[in-house]
Amino acid sequence: AQKITQTQPGMFVQEKEAVTLDCTYDTSDPSYGLFWYKQPSSGEMIFLIYQGSYDQQNATEGRYSLNFQKARKSANLVISASQLGDSAMYFCAMREGPPGAAGNKLTFGGGTRVLVKP
């Protein structure tokens, strides 16, 4: 079974509008972390936002917010006020196990390509 699922292969969004990128995950570990990364065409992985499994509040980082619904095992990324520079691939990823534990790897979803239209 897929551990991280991103069901939207590609999306168009109008500049200045908000966009929600879906991510669902599957784990039996009570301690885990969810990450969102942006990958522009250059290939670099840019960290956007993090949500820990025990965090009570939804994470926010500037224009990025994470809609964490633990019971549904979903961690959707919301980008508000889209900008042309937001056009990129976006990946949801999960770390199973507590932060800092040796060898904890990241598992990535398939990604969503976002294209912001002027």
Partner 1 sequence: GAVVSQHPSRVICKSGTSVKIECRSLDFQATTMFWYRQFPKQSLMLMATSNEGSKATYEQGVEKDKFLINHASLTLSTLTVTSAHPEDSSFYICSASSSRVKNYGYTFGSGTRLTVV
- The residue ranges that bind partner 1 (CB under 8 A) are 33, 35, 42-45, 47, 50, 52, 91, 95, 99-100, 102-111
Answer whether 91's CB lies under 8 Å from 108's CB. yes
Nearer to partner 1 by Cβ, of 79 and 91: the residue is 91
Strands 64-69 and 60-61: antiparallel
The CB-of-16 to partner 1 minimum distance in angstroms stands at 27
Nearer to partner 1 by Cβ, of 55 and 78: the residue is 55
The CB-of-52 to partner 1 minimum distance in angstroms stands at 7
User: 72 to each of 25, 53, 67, 75, 107, how far by Cα in Å?
Assistant: 9, 13, 11, 9, 19
